Amino acid sequence: DAGITQSPRHKVTETGTPVTLRCHQTENHRYMYWYRQDPGHGLRLIHYSYGVKDTDKGEVSDGYSVSRSKTEDFLLTLESATSSQTSVYFCAISDSRRQSYEQYFGPGTRLTVT
Amino acid sequence: LAKTTQPISMDSYEGQEVNITCSHNNIATNDYITWYQQFPSQGPRFIIQGYKTKVTNEVASLFIPADRKSSTLSLPRVSLSDTAVYYCLVGANQAGTALIFGKGTTLSVSS
């Protein structure tokens, strides 16, 4: 399995509080992604990064920000958590050096906003 | 990105071959077909990818007809551990491409 860890794995927070989720990789892959998964919606892309300090928005980026100051870390921040952001969050990485560009996913973070 | 249609669910027994078909009528010339597997409480895992004809790896085979408007994932001799959700994705094979996951096919394998 690709070396991807996510922290925390579970978090319960209150509406209006800031939350930061961390994705850490040991594979030195260039691309990193944040997805959220909700029942009935599959996985949806929030933000992605194509290098240190280089990020872009995905399909559902409102209410989220990201930062990547090192190759190995990609942080997802909910500035003011809302109940609609209760979800399972997955980080993924991919390597432009591989022909098929498949993405490797982390174990996920289950976030509950009360 | 091309839209995909696949069955919501399938049932099978251990030892049987399972074929999951995905329809993608609007596939573009430079699109590839990729399948992912997801177990409960885990992230998706890449299974196989192809462009045309047949691709086989140690886990599965992928059959793609000449018109590429559909594809079939074949899992030989499934076991209980193959119970999972299987996603068919169609898109350009470019680094940095966002993956668009539909609802997938929930495969249930029984003994």
Q: What is the mean pLDDT of chain A?
A: 92
Report percent pLDDT > 90 for chain A: 77
Instruction: Count Cβ atoms below 10 Å from residue A96 Cβ, excluding itself.
Output: 12
* φ, ψ of residue B103 in degrees (nearest 5): -80, -20
Residue B46 is nearest to which of A50, A96, A102, comparing CB atoms?
A: A102
Task: State yes or no: pLDDT of B57 exceeds 70.
Answer: yes
Using an 8 Å CB-CB cutoff, list chain B residues near A103: 44, 46, 99
Task: State yes or no: pLDDT of A106 exceeds 90.
Answer: yes
Residues 18-77 (B) with a CB less than 8 A from some CB of A: 32, 34, 41-46, 49
Q: What is the mean pLDDT of residues B21-39?
A: 92
* Confidence band for A21, pLDDT divided at 50, 70 and 90: very high
Exposed/middle/buried for residue B1 (C-beta within 10 Å: 0-12, 13-18, 19+) = middle
Report percent pLDDT > 70 for chain A: 93
Return the residue of B nearest to A104 by Cα.
B45
* Confidence band for A40, pLDDT divided at 50, 70 and 90: confident
Task: State yes or no: pLDDT of B34 exceeds 80.
Answer: yes
Query: Is A101 in contact with B93 (Cβ distance < 8 A)?
Result: yes
Using an 8 Å CB-CB cutoff, list chain B residues near A21: none
Using a CB–CB cutoff of 8 Å, tell me whether A50 touches chain B.
yes
What pLDDT is attached to residue A113? 97
